[in-house]
Amino acid sequence: MEPQRSPLLEVKGNIQLKTSLTKTSSRLPLPGSRIKRGASQMEDALEPEKKRSRGLGAANKIVTTRPRVPPLTTVSQIQGQATAQKVPKKTGPRSSTAVPSVLKNQKPVPVVPAQKSGTSAAPPMVAGKKPGKRPAWDLKGQLCDLNAELKRCRERSHTLDQENQQLRDQLRDAQQQAQALGTERRTLEEELTRVRAQAEQGQQELGNLSARVLELEERLGTQEGLVQKLQKEQLEWQEERRGLTSQLEEQERRLQASEAALSSSRAEVTSLQQEVAAQATLLEEREERLHGLEMERRRLHNQLQELKGNIRVFCRVRPVLPGEPTPTPGFLLFPPGPGGSADLPTHLSLFRSDERRATLSGAPAPTNRHDFSFDRVFPPGSGQDEVFEEIAMLVQSALDGYPVCIFAYGQTGSGKTYTMEGGPGGDPQLEGMIPRALRHLFSVAQELGCQGWTYSFVASYVEIYNETVRDLLATGARKGQGGECEIRRAGPGSEELTVTNARYVPVSCEKEVEALLQLARQNRAVARTAQNERSSRSHSVFQLQISGEHASRGLQCGAPLSLVDLAGSERLDPGLGLGPGEKERLRETQAINSSLSTLGLVIMALSNKESHVPYRNSKLTYLLQNSLGGSAKMLMFVNISPLEENASETLNSLRFASKVNQCVIGTAQANRK
Ligand code: ADP
Ligand code: MG
C-alpha cells in the first residue's frame, strides 16, 4: 500500500531544498546517487522510524546508536550491502532506487516532535487518520504547518550532511585500508615470488642432492666391495700371521735348543781356542822352520843348478815329418851314457859320408862320425812334457830371484818355434816351453803364497829383425807394423833394461799368456806377407819380469825369465850366385850371423871372465844383458833336423852348441834385496 503522501510534497517545487540536497549528495562517489531524493522519499524513509518511535511511545527519543562499520570492510562490501538493502519500489525518475544500508545504519534522523494536538496551528485529527486539511481560510495555520515542515527539512538536511561527512570519512578509511591492503598484497606477492624462487632453488638442490645420493650409493657399493676384499685379505693375513706365529714359536724353541747347544759349544770353543793358541805357536815354530827349509831348498836348488852348470845345452832332434825323405838308418845315433840304457841320453853321434874325400881318392866314401855330448839329448819323439820336466827346476829358479834365459838355436825348420811356443792346433799336449814355464811359475807362486810370498808377473814379447826391435804385442794401429822400439835403461843409473814403445802386460793366468802368444802369432803373420818368412829371419824374445815379496819378513826378489826363439842359424851357401832379391837376404843373414856370433862371443867372454863383455854388439845380447852373465842361469836348446840333407847345418849347430856347452859361467847370484 502506497504510503500517504505528505502535504509537504505539494510544495516541493516551491522550495530549494531539493537543489541543496542534490548538490550535497552529488559529492558522494557512491553509485546510484542514492542521496538524490525528494523530501517525500526522506519522509518515507523516516516514516517507519517515526512509526517505531511512536509505537514505543517515546516520540521524543532519538535513537543514536548504530553498528559501526568494521574497520577492514571494503568499499565493495559496503556497496554490496547497500545493493542488498535496495528498496524495490521506485518513487520517482530522479530518486535513488534504495537507501544504502550505511544510511540505515546511520544515526536516525532526529525526529522533530510533533506539535501537540490542541495547539492552534495543528489541524484537527481524526482518530487513526492523518490530520485533515486546514480550511482554506486558516492561512495562519497553514503557514505554521509550512514553517514546521521547513524546519524539519532543514534539520533533515543537516542530518544528511552529517551522514555524508561520516560516509566520506568511512570511504577515506576504506581507501586507506585498500591502500594498506594493496601494499600488503604487493609485499605478499613479492614474498610469494621469493618463496617460489626459493622453492625452485630448493627443487634444484633437491635434484642435485638426489644425484649426489645416487653417486654416494654407487660409491658405497664400491666401498662395500673394497671392504669385503679387505676383510678377505685381513682373514688371509690373520691366517698367515697364525702360521708365522707358530713358526716363530718353533724358531724360539729351536733357538732355545741352539742356545743350550751354544753354551756347551762355548765351553768347547774356549778349550779349542786354547788348543788353537797352542797350535798357532806350534805353527809359528813350524813356519819358521819351513822358511828355514825353504831357504835351504833354494840354496840347495841353486847349488844343484850350479852343479848342472849355469849354462846348459839340451839337444833336441825333431822327428821326420810326413813327406820328408827317410834318413839312412844310423845317420843319427843316441849312444847310452855311462850308466847304460837306464841313463837319460846325453850323447849324440852323427855319421856322415865324406863325399869330397871319396871323389878325390876314387874309393868308396868313408863315413865320418861326429860325437857330441850335452846336458840332455832329446831324440825324435820326445814329448813337450818330457822336455819341460828337465827345465822346470831351472824355470823355478826365476822365482828364487835368479835370472833365467832359455834359447832355441838351430837352422830354420829344425823345431825351435815348436819347442818354445808349441805345436800347431792348440793341442795342450803340444804346448811349448813358454806356456808351460808360465803355468809352472803361476802354480809355484801360489804355493809360495802360503808361506807369505806374493808374486806379480809382467810379460813382453818383441822381435829383433835386421837389428831393429819390434813389439809383437802391439795392438790397434801399430798392429802388424809395430813402431820402432829402442832398448833403454829403465831409469838413470838403473841396471834394468826396457824396450820403448813396447807393451808390458801384467799376467796372472794361463789364458792371458795364451792370448798374448796368439796376438804375437797374428803380428808375425801380418809381417810375413810383407817379407817372406821373416819370422825365421828374426829373433823372438819373450820376457817375463817376476817380482816377489815376503811382506812379513821384508824380503823381496825379482828376476827376468827370457825365452828366446832365435833366428835360423843356417848360412848362405857362398857358392851360390846372388840374385837381385838375394842381396837383402844376404844382409839379413849377415845380421843374423852377426847377432848369433855376438851371442857366442858374449858367452865366451863371460866364460873366460873377460873384463869386457860385448853385450852392445847386437840388439839381442844388449836386450838379454841382465839374463846372461854372472848371476844368470842359461839354457840353450840346439834343435836339429833329422834329415841327411841338413847334415851340414846340423853339424854347424852342434858345434856351436858344444862350444857353448863347454863354457862355465861363474856362480849365479840371486837378485835379492
Ligand atoms: P823352426 O822354428 O826352427 O823354423 P818349426 O818349429 O817351425 O821350426 O818346425 C818346423 C816343422 O817341424 C813344423 O811343422 C813343426 O810342427 C815340426 N816340428 C818341429 N819339431 C817337432 C817335434 N818335436 N815333433 C813334431 N813336429 C815337430
Ligand atoms: Mg821358427
Alpha-carbon span 8 to 153, nearest angstrom: 10
CA 547 distance to own-chain centroid: 46
The band of 363, judged by pLDDT with boundaries at 50, 70 and 90, is low
What does residue 2 show for φ and ψ, rounded to 5 degrees? -65, 130
Tell me the per-residue pLDDT of 245-288, one tens digit each, with 9 for 90 and over.
999 999 999 999 989 988 888 888 899 889 889 988 888 888 88
Distances (CA, A) of 12 to 15, 37, 61, 215, 376: 6, 11, 28, 92, 194
Atom of ligand 1 nearest to the CA of 408: 3
Q: Whose CA is nearest to atom 11 of ligand 1?
A: 413
pLDDT at 308 over 80: no
| Nearest ligand atom owner, CA of 646 | 1
Helices 17-26 and 39-56, packing angle to 10 deg = 90
Alpha-carbon span 496 to 493, nearest angstrom: 9
Supply 417's cell numbers. 818355434
Highest mean pLDDT among 71-80, 191-200, 493-502 belongs to 191-200
CA 601 distance to own-chain centroid: 71
Distances (CA, A) of 444 to 398, 441, 447: 11, 5, 5
Q: What is the dihedral of CA 510, 515, 520, 524, to 10 degrees?
A: 130
pLDDT at 459 over 90: yes
Which residues on neighbouring strands pair with residue 348, listed in sequence order? 372
Percent of the chain with pLDDT over 70: 71
Higher-pLDDT residue of 503, 535: 503
The single residue listed with the C-alpha cell 819358521 is 288
What is the pLDDT averaged over residues 147-156? 93
Q: What is the predicted pLDDT for the residue at 494?
A: 79
Sheet with 332-333: list strands edge to edge.
332-333, 347-353, 367-373
Higher-pLDDT residue of 494, 599: 599
Q: What is the predicted pLDDT for the residue at 574?
A: 53
Pairing mode, strands 633-640 and 311-317: parallel
Rounded distance from Cα 476 to ligand 2 centre (Å): 25
pLDDT at 114 over 70: no
Q: What is the predicted pLDDT for the residue at 38?
A: 42
Atom of ligand 1 nearest to the CA of 639: 3
Alpha-carbon span 421 to 514, nearest angstrom: 10
Q: What is the predicted pLDDT for the residue at 182?
A: 92
Rounded distance from Cα 89 to ligand 2 centre (Å): 170
**Contact present, 368 and 360 (Cβ < 8 Å):** no
| Nearest ligand atom owner, CA of 535 | 2
Supply 50's cell numbers. 517515526
Helices 17-26 and 139-308, packing angle to 10 deg = 0
Q: What is the predicted pLDDT for the residue at 607?
A: 84
The mean-pLDDT minimum among 97-111, 152-166, 543-557, 639-653 falls in 97-111
Rounded distance from Cα 423 to ligand 1 centre (Å): 7
pLDDT at 27 over 60: no
pLDDT at 34 over 80: no
Atom of ligand 1 nearest to the CA of 424: 16
**Contact present, 410 and 569 (Cβ < 8 Å):** yes
What is the pLDDT averaged over residues 133-153? 89
Q: What is the predicted pLDDT for the residue at 81?
A: 46
pLDDT at 485 over 60: yes
First to last CA, the chain: 177
pLDDT at 371 over 60: yes
What is the pLDDT averaged over residues 389-411? 92
Mean pLDDT score of the chain: 78
Q: Whose CA is nearest to atom 16 of ligand 1?
A: 423
Rounded distance from Cα 450 to ligand 2 centre (Å): 39
Rounded distance from Cα 389 to ligand 2 centre (Å): 22
What is the pLDDT averaged over residues 29-58? 42
Rounded distance from Cα 401 to ligand 2 centre (Å): 29
pLDDT at 22 over 50: no
DSSP 415-431: SHHHHHTB-GGG-GGGB
Supply 481's cell numbers. 807394423
Handedness of CA 297, 301, 307, 308 (dihedral sign): positive
Taking alpha carbons only, the member of 560, 570, 548 closest to residue 648 is 570
Higher-pLDDT residue of 65, 228: 228
Q: Whose CA is nearest to atom 12 of ligand 1?
A: 415
Alpha-carbon span 641 to 650, nearest angstrom: 7
**How would you class 83 by CB atoms within 10 Å of its CB: exposed for 0-12, middle for 13-18, buried for 19 or more?**
middle
Q: Whose CA is nearest to atom 20 of ligand 1?
A: 415
Q: What is the predicted pLDDT for the residue at 362?
A: 63
Highest mean pLDDT among 293-302, 477-486, 627-636 belongs to 627-636
Pocket of ligand 1 (CB under 6 A): 318-319, 321, 410, 412-418, 423-424, 536, 639
Higher-pLDDT residue of 158, 290: 158
| Nearest ligand atom owner, CA of 316 | 1
Atom of ligand 1 nearest to the CA of 316: 23
The helix (run of H) or strand (run of E) holding residue 373 is strand 367-373
pLDDT at 171 over 80: yes
Alpha-carbon span 624 to 404, nearest angstrom: 10
Rounded distance from Cα 336 to ligand 2 centre (Å): 30
Alpha-carbon span 159 to 62, nearest angstrom: 13
The mean-pLDDT minimum among 170-184, 335-349, 605-619 falls in 335-349
Higher-pLDDT residue of 343, 599: 599
In the chain, count H helices and then E strands: 13, 15
- Best probe residue, ligand 1, of 315, 318, 378 (max atoms within 8 Å of C-beta): 318
**Contact present, 39 and 156 (Cβ < 8 Å):** yes
Alpha-carbon span 39 to 21, nearest angstrom: 9
Taking alpha carbons only, the member of 507, 525, 512 closest to residue 417 is 525
Q: What is the predicted pLDDT for the residue at 301?
A: 73
Rounded distance from Cα 416 to ligand 1 centre (Å): 7
Task: Give the count of beta carbons closer than 10 Å to the beta carbon of residue 35.
Answer: 23
Higher-pLDDT residue of 320, 490: 320
| Nearest ligand atom owner, CA of 425 | 1
What is the pLDDT averaged over residues 325-346? 81
Rounded distance from Cα 412 to ligand 1 centre (Å): 9
Supply 23's cell numbers. 548538490
| Nearest ligand atom owner, CA of 380 | 1
Question: 3-state class of 637 per DSSP?
Answer: strand
Higher-pLDDT residue of 174, 584: 174
- Best probe residue, ligand 1, of 382, 418, 563, 646 (max atoms within 8 Å of C-beta): 418
Atom of ligand 1 nearest to the CA of 416: 3
Rounded distance from Cα 533 to ligand 2 centre (Å): 9
Helices (H), 608-646: 619-623
Which residues on neighbouring strands pair with residue 565, listed in sequence order? 408, 540
Q: What is the pTM of this model?
A: 0.59
DSSP 270-291: HHHHHHHHHHHHHHHHHHHHHH
Taking alpha carbons only, the member of 384, 360, 393, 468 closest to residue 433 is 384
